[in-house]
């Protein structure tokens, strides 16, 4: 009935010991050389991910469940603002990148390859060229159909100079990228703020504290951009913040265009500018006609004749980065802590150890799991720790380490009438006793 057993599901497949896989020499080297960070360590030790090569990671069942939940959340918010989901090719012809001038700008970060006919391609690090060319190749549409908001969630490839911290800086990672096409600057800016509001909802729902700052446009181009950051000591961006004058910007931008003194409204002595480290989890850009003019992507205006360049925006979300960055922010030194909405499972049931009534406890756990998983939002969300030779305490350590939001312990009181279960709210560290009915309405 949609529940998982620890023995079959978690521990059989992997060691899941909370310790490093002794075979994973490269992971050990990364970690022992101090190259790693807490979330990277916890994800490796708990089989959320496994390293394939530097900057390349397999995502294992628990990690994938979480990523898929995040994907559903992002799909909901993108589609709520009219986003049309597409899936573009991973390979992009090098000629497109040469046409936009970014082939040289991206330099060594671009992975390039040749087919058997010696045609050159690159593995898409972002898809402005491809999507604009796609629009240009479609029948010219009327201004009435605008804005168009295409988005995809797909693997991106960047030959990062220093892949680091697991999924935080991979050479292959999952990104949600939306591209918008508007009639003019005015409507494009409305679209820009609509997408930013959807980003706010996404980050609010994930529930990890984030901060939105003015961002540098880098090689993507354009002249308006914002970044979303999770503040963390291991963040690779420097964020300038002042609660008094309201400055919130990536230091990169301040250095790029010297805009800081202009933005700050207060004399230097009054401004309480702070510098903090941030992990960039999302980035939005207003692009204008930079790409549409190059690729001749146009729509038909009111007169039905004039072909006008689209006004574009592009909006990135680092899906795999958000996943790990939230673990980095919430976890303790030894235990994973997930945003509740994207935890791989919601409930971890531990029935009392084998004894004369061992089978009864297990049967009880299965009945409880069946009852819980009848509820649509809990389908597949329950794991029973059926390692019946281990004490509750020992299994509780594992449940806590994996960080499922709720641990339900079936002890002596579970077999009394009426039954009582010990429910641990793992994120809050609170324990309460509940009846079956209370548990059903609570979870």
Residues that bind Mg ion (CB under 5 A): 280, 283
Among 40, 102, 149, 321, binds ligand ATP (CB under 6 A): 321
Q: Are 325 and 227 in contact (CB under 8 A)?
A: no
The three-point CA angle 298-106-233 to 5° equals 115
Of the two residues 128 and 366, which places its CB atom closer to ligand ATP in the complex?
Answer: 128
Among 76, 160, 360, 425, binds ligand ATP (CB under 6 A): 160
Q: Is the peptide bond before 154 cis (omega within 30 degrees of 0)?
A: no
- C-beta of 164: minimal distance to Mg ion in Å? 12
The size of the interface with ligand ATP (CB under 6 A), counted in residues, is: 16
Residues 66-92 as b or e (16 or more Cβ within 10 Å = b): bbebbbebbeebbeebebeeeebeeeb
Q: Is the peptide bond before 418 cis (omega within 30 degrees of 0)?
A: yes
Q: Does 173 help bind ligand ATP (rule: CB under 6 A)?
A: yes
Of the two residues 126 and 331, which places its CB atom closer to ligand ATP in the complex?
Answer: 126
From the list ligand ATP, Mg ion, none, partner contacted by residue 318 (C-beta under 5 to 8 A by kind) = ligand ATP
Please choose, out of 114-122, 257-265, 268-276, 278-286, the segment that lies near ligand ATP by the rule CB under 6 A: 278-286
Of the two residues 224 and 371, which places its CB atom closer to ligand ATP in the complex?
Answer: 224
Among 51, 191, 320, 346, binds ligand ATP (CB under 6 A): 320
Residue 210 has phi, psi (to 5 degrees) of -130, 165
Of the two residues 251 and 357, which places its CB atom closer to ligand ATP in the complex?
Answer: 251
Q: Does 229 help bind ligand ATP (rule: CB under 6 A)?
A: no
**Count of C-beta atoms within a 10 Å radius of residue 223:** 11
Binding mask 201-220 for ligand ATP (x = CB under 6 A): -----------------x--
Of the two residues 283 and 345, which places its CB atom closer to Mg ion in the complex?
Answer: 283
Q: Does 175 help bind ligand ATP (rule: CB under 6 A)?
A: yes
CA torsion 293→295→300→305, rounded to 10°? 80
Residues 359-381 as b or e (16 or more Cβ within 10 Å = b): eebbebbbebbeebbeeeebeeb
- C-beta of 285: minimal distance to ligand ATP in Å? 8
Q: Which residue is nearest to ligand ATP, using beta carbons?
A: 318
Q: Does 152 help bind ligand ATP (rule: CB under 6 A)?
A: no
- Bridge partners, 50 (sequence order): 58
Of the two residues 202 and 347, which places its CB atom closer to Mg ion in the complex?
Answer: 202
Q: Classify 378 as helix, strand or coil.
A: helix
Among 102, 133, 158, 183, binds ligand ATP (CB under 6 A): 158
Q: Are 276 and 233 in contact (CB under 8 A)?
A: no
Q: Which two tokens stand for residue 309?
A: 């360049």
Q: Does 290 help bind ligand ATP (rule: CB under 6 A)?
A: no
Of the two residues 112 and 436, which places its CB atom closer to ligand ATP in the complex?
Answer: 112
**Rounded-to-integer distance, Cα 15 and Cα 13, Å:** 7
CA 317 remoteness from chain centre? 7
Q: Are 415 and 360 in contact (CB under 8 A)?
A: yes
- C-beta of 385: minimal distance to ligand ATP in Å? 33
Strand-strand pairing, 224-231 and 274-288: antiparallel
Please choose, out of 70-78, 195-203, 274-282, 417-425, the segment that lies near ligand ATP by the rule CB under 6 A: 274-282
Binding mask 117-146 for ligand ATP (x = CB under 6 A): ---------x--------------------
- C-beta of 126: minimal distance to ligand ATP in Å? 6
Of the two residues 177 and 366, which places its CB atom closer to ligand ATP in the complex?
Answer: 177
CA 377 remoteness from chain centre? 21
Q: Quick one: 186 exposed, middle or buried, by C-beta within 10 A (0-12, 13-18, 19+)? A: exposed
Of the two residues 315 and 404, which places its CB atom closer to Mg ion in the complex?
Answer: 315
* Interacting residues with ligand ATP (CB under 6 A): 126, 158, 160, 169-170, 173, 175, 218, 280-283, 316, 318, 320-321
């Amino acid at each position: 009935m949609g529940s998982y057993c620890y023995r079959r599901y978690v521990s059989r497949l992997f060691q899941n010991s909370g310790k490093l896989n002794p075979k994973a020499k490269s992971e050990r080297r990364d970690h022992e050389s101090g190259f790693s960070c807490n979330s990277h360590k916890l994800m490796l030790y708990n089989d959320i991910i496994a390293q394939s090569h530097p900057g390349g990671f397999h995502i294992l069942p628990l990690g994938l469940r979480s990523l898929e939940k995040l994907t559903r959340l992002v799909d909901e918010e993108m589609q709520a603002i009219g986003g049309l989901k597409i899936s573009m090719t991973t390979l992009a012809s090098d000629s497109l990148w040469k046409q936009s001038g970014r082939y040289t700008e991206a330099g060594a970060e671009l992975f390039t390859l040749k087919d058997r006919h010696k045609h050159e391609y690159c593995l898409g690090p972002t898809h402005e060229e491809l999507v604009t060319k796609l629009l240009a190749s479609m029948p010219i549409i009327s201004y009435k159909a605008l804005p168009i908001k295409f988005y995809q969630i797909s693997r991106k490839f960047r030959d990062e100079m220093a892949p680091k911290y697991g999924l935080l800086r991979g050479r292959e990672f999952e990104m949600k990228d939306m591209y918008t096409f508007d009639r003019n600057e005015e409507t494009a800016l409305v679209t820009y703020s609509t997408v930013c509001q959807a980003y706010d909802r996404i980050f609010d729902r994930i529930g990890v504290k984030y901060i939105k700052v003015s961002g540098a446009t880098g090689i993507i181009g354009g002249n308006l951009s914002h970044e979303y950051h999770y503040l963390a000591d291991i963040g690779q961006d420097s964020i300038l913040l002042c609660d008094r004058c309201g400055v919130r910007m990536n230091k990169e931008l301040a250095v790029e265009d010297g805009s800081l003194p202009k933005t700050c409204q207060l004399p230097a002595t009054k401004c309480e500018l702070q510098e903090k480290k941030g992990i960039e989890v999302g980035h939005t850009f207003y692009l204008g006609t930079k790409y549409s003019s190059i690729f001749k992507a146009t729509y038909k205006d009111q007169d039905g004749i004039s072909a006008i360049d689209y006004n574009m925006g592009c909006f990135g979300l680092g899906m795999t980065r958000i996943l790990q960055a939230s673990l980095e922010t919430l976890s303790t030194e030894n235990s994973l802590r997930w945003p509740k909405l994207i935890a791989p499972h919601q409930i971890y049931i531990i029935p009392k150890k084998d004894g004369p009534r061992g089978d009864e406890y297990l049967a009880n756990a299965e009945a409880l799991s069946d009852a819980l998983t009848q509820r649509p939002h809990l389908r597949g969300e329950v794991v029973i720790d059926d390692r019946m030779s281990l004490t509750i305490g020992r299994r509780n350590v594992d449940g806590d380490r994996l960080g499922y939001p709720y641990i339900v312990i079936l002890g002596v009181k579970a077999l009394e009438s009426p039954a009582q279960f010990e429910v641990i709210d793992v994120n809050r560290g609170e324990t309460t006793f509940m009846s079956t009915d209370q548990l059903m309405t609570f979870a």
